[in-house]
Structure 1
């Protein structure tokens, strides 16, 4: 059964993780990919598999283990409890109870701001979740709409504590930030210590966003938003009057001036359980039904040991079918000739056999001649080579196309020395302009590969440049912003040193980025438009320098 809200598995997705059957994809982000898993009894789990880039870092594993252990102590009606985890495998994973509902981010994107009464109930549930998280000694550090799920019986806060584990990896130590800019606290932006008050600030931004559909600190490039968070007061003009005083207190620059979660709960409700069965608008309640339609898991892959490896030694008898390779592998195979329909010594067959023998001898003679002509010590011809007055080809300057300059659609040409002669490996000299693409659309969870056809994004996160559904992260090998006053060309990207590791919070429309890939290519990306689920870019691709 195919679900309208769950993404089907791709060919390379696992069919089983830790003994749990995998039924579908739930999403992807900067930390990894999330799957819908099923226990033997049919209970649904959300299983997050951590990216290899994080899993390879010992400090991440150490902190991840600490945070998972702490998260298991969190007990609240408004969190997704941790059910299972594998902290020591090649790809660590964490399983929590699956929540049958969309994220707050999805609802805001599809339906707009929520009614005030719904926001108050939502806020009370989130405040209770934060209270339980803080009691367990955990600070969420990445509270945002995509980390709040909406179910019929109340909201659920997910992914608490994982951001702290990622904060220790080289991917973030090199300049990238963990946390979504619109929901970061000033002390988080400035790199100060994290306390529960950090989550209260994010809570205030989230409540404002749920009620208005906007961040209290506006939109734009991450640096601009973070600057406003640390230096400017929030813009609360559109916030409903019933919520504005609480939001303003939560967004105080000084952490000591923000309310505690207990004070927030007391301000929002007089009931010990603030959530009622009719807390969501009817349109959203109706949209929850497909989340209960669990897709049927695909059949399990056959065990690796049951497949037959390729035969080494004597070939199979004529007409014997070639055994299939193990799942996920492909072996080169040559067709086995079928036995002839008749056997006999007819004249036609004898003539064909003789002709074949002559052809074999001829081929052998030709091969011997070719091989002997390639021997440097044996003259292959008697015609003398006339000396050339031109310098060797490797020393001649070559014209190099450097791509369109700023403000021009035509490539410019500069003269650069050619590299020393050597085997042709298909790699262009550094600075060579390769191609340009206009108006590439990338849906969340898809990416493009510069070596391939960038106009056709592929599902998954293995491309040179990826954009994730929650609109919070871009993913590539190395990012750097191009200053507004600088030219968007190869030299600008080559000279800058302000690269941000592998993950970057989504920049605003009009931003320009330099992106280096592991294959040695340089992409210059211009953001044309961006929302929470779709990105449109222009792209120039260059051959990058050898020293990157």
Structure 2
């Protein structure tokens, strides 16, 4: 392997890039995406890996962090021939990151952009490989959600699907309305574009789009603004006029608008074999020669750093085997578990705390090392061989020598006088505290308990005051529910949204699908589709027999994120549960307005801060 990297593929680190992340010394920049920046680095054994550092905007979102941790744990279970396995991660640091195996090959998007459409055999082998990857991914309980040409890499022995499931971590977080783009509209399924239910069939639709893209060199639903592409995906048929006739059965079935009508992964693989004029076998020649040349170019990697940073020289204390209290690091871009440059050993297993190297007492005499299994002895991650147990006498602590047994110790004499004195002082203190809590006999205590005590009864008992405050005598009682705030006749114009935190809640212009509103009114002006939706929580549509109340909204679990107008009639109630912790009962009053612009009217009863917020405001 030559040491001369391609300048176009491996960009040098810039001023704002970290030098080390999670113990890995970064070598180059591989690319930048909607969720983060990807770097080239190496394992302790010199294997190249791709390390994605999540953008700070996502790192600051608590809901994203929770979902990212869950999705990474799921992704670590995916081990397939056509996937890039997750090697290491840190989901709890100040800036989360994820490391996967490095695939020396261009993305499908890059290959098509540089060399045009692929031949039929390459498209069929691509489809079979992606179908096998999805089979493993779905088997781990993951829906990819962002299957697109940029997430399909073309290796010498077949495709590799990357970033599976990670896009889910960004769904419905506080960032959806801030202009941060995660998904790719051109390759979304109709149910995904219209905020419907996402399922494994969503990835089947994306697979059909990838096959069409590889065969014709452009998206089947065209290009343009996000809203225009999403509209065509939901309401129009794709342009398959340039798709080879042999591929039409595969692509057409995958792009069925109804998820239930799409083929299974097994059917896709069988269909590809039926289409192919020759038996499909994955090999080195599955790609055109021009695309295969891009793989060779990506094998010319920058060399890793030759000289690791020195180990810290901290002399062990007599209690060297006791767990040390972690010190709070200064706020940096590195995670608490993974220190900044100069305090790491990039050639040690990553993702785990490193014990400080003890100072040698004399040249050639190694200091003691914690025994295996001890909390200070790091455990290597999966994929690294476990170090053998040291032989006795080699880097092991000296044996512990106990003093001879001398029989039971004589009990110490009790200091009876001090104990009696302490007891007397304690009794005096307790009597003083009790006396301070007793009524002073002035009649004020009786007056506060009287029904005519000037309104102080509600304050002392907390029974229905609803102000969220408790008196000193009620400090141990449950905090009362917040007072409801009622608003009559709120008119929400089409494609406007409402936030429950507003007092009064005023409709605001925005994007009702991705705008983060607690309650919004969406109208498709061409086809007339209308619904009430939320992008910042969930709804509960109440039955006619149910009376909307705070208790009902807390106990019911028939959640939805969208209610169509044909489900509503005048007087229908539904609960709005916002991620910010506000709860409201919305009463639908009706629809009004002219043909050019309509609005819906609600009465709202809002209990603000009724629950703990799920996300940072």
Find the residue that maps to 1:170 and give its secondary structure: coil
Q: Aligned in 2, Cα 1:200/1:497: closer, same or farther, shift over 3 Å? A: closer
| 2:13 paired residue number | 9
Distance across 2 between alignment mates of 1:498 and 1:236: 31
Counterpart of 1:99? 103
Correspondence for 2:185? 181
Q: How many residues align?
A: 317
- Pair 1:275-2:282 in alignment: yes
TM-aligned CA deviation for residue 298 of structure 1: 5.2
Q: Deviations over 1:81-122 (max 9, x none)?
A: 011111110011011110011111111111010111111111
Aligned match for 2:90, one of 86, 90, 93 = 86
Distance 1:177 1:272, change over 3 A: farther
* Whole-Å separation in 2 of the counterparts to 1:501 and 1:32: 22
Query: 1-side partners of 2:154 and 2:180: how far apart?
Result: 30
Cα deviation for residue 302 of structure 1 reads 6.9
Whether contact under 8 Å (2:108, 2:150) holds in the other structure is yes
Are residue 63 (structure 1) and residue 67 (structure 2) matched?
Answer: yes
- 2-structure distance, mates of 1:12, 1:298: 19
CA deviation map 1:502-540 (0-9, x unaligned):
9xxxxxxxxxxxxxxxxxxxxxxxxxxxxxxxxxxxxxx
Structure 1 residue 111 corresponds to structure 2 residue 118: no
Say if 1:304 and 1:327, in contact at 8 Å, map to a contact too: no
Q: Counterparts of 1:11 and 1:296 in 2: how far apart (Å)? A: 20
In structure 2, the residue corresponding to 1:99 is in which secondary structure? Answer: coil
Shift, 1:286, TM fit: 2.0
- CA deviations on 1:23-71 (whole Å, 9 max, x unpaired) are 1111001100001110121011110100111011111111111111111
Which sits farther off after the overlay, 90-99 or 165-174? 165-174
Q: Report the equivalent of 1:253.
A: 257
Rounded to whole Å, the distance in 1 between the matches of 2:104 and 2:269 is: 25
Match of 2:300 in 1: 293
1:172 aligns with 2:179: no
* Aligned equivalent of 1:526: none
In the aligned structure 2, how far is the partner of 1:17 from the partner of 1:255? 41
Deviation by residue 1:380-407 (Cα, 9 ceiling, x = unmatched): xxxxxxxxxxxxxxxxxxxxxxxxxxxx
Q: What is the alpha-carbon distance in structure 2 between the residues aligned to residue 185 and residue 41 of structure 1?
A: 41
SS of 1:37's equivalent in the other structure is strand
Aligned-pair Cα RMSD in Å:
2.8
- Distance in 2 separating the partners of 1:185 and 1:176: 20
Q: Quick one: distance in 2 between partners of 1:300 and 1:18? A: 18
Corresponding residue number in structure 1 for 2:134: 130
Tell me: CA distance 1:292–1:175, structure 2 relative to 1, closer, same or farther (3 Å).
closer
Q: Secondary structure at the match of 1:194?
A: coil
Q: Aligned to 2:176, what secondary structure does the other structure show?
A: helix
| SS in structure 1 of the partner of residue 26 of structure 2 | strand
Corresponding residue number in structure 2 for 1:227: 231
Counting only pairs closer than 5 Å after superposition, residues 384-533 of structure 1 correspond to structure 2 as: 497-498=510-511
Classify 1:180/1:229 alpha carbon distance in 2 versus 1 (closer, same or farther; 3 Å).
same
Distance 1:175 1:14, change over 3 A: closer
In the alignment, does 2:156 pair up with 1:152?
Answer: yes
Q: Could you tell me how far 1:269 is from its partner in structure 2?
A: 2.8
In 1, Cα distance between the equivalents of 2:96 and 2:84? 19
Aligned to 1:492: none
State the Cα distance separating 1:277 from its structure 2 match: 2.0
The offset of 1:133, in angstroms, is 0.5
Match of 2:328 in 1: none
Note the C-alpha offset of 1:272: 11
Q: 3-state SS of the aligned residue for 2:27?
A: strand
**Distance in 2 separating the partners of 1:144 and 1:123:** 12
* Aligned twin of 2:378: none
8 Å CA contact 1:176, 1:501 repeated in 2: no
The one of 247, 258, 266 aligned to 1:243: 247
- Of 287-296 and 81-90, more deviation after overlay is shown by 287-296
- Structure 2 distance, partners of 1:53, 1:106, is 27
The Cα of 1:178 is off from its aligned counterpart by 4.0
- Give distance in 1, aligned partners of 2:80 and 2:341: 42
Tell me: CA distance 1:197–1:175, structure 2 relative to 1, closer, same or farther (3 Å). Answer: farther
State the shift of 1:192 in Å: 1.1
2:475 maps to what in 1?
none
Taking the aligned partners of 2:309 and 2:77, their CA distance within structure 1 comes to 38
Separation of aligned partners in 2, 1:149 and 1:327: 31
1:24·1:297 contact (CA, 8 Å) conserved in 2? no
After superposition, the C-alpha distances for 1:430-480 in whole angstroms (9 at most, x for unaligned) are: xxxxxxxxxxxxxxxxxxxxxxxxxxxxxxxxxxxxxxxxxxxxxxxxxxx
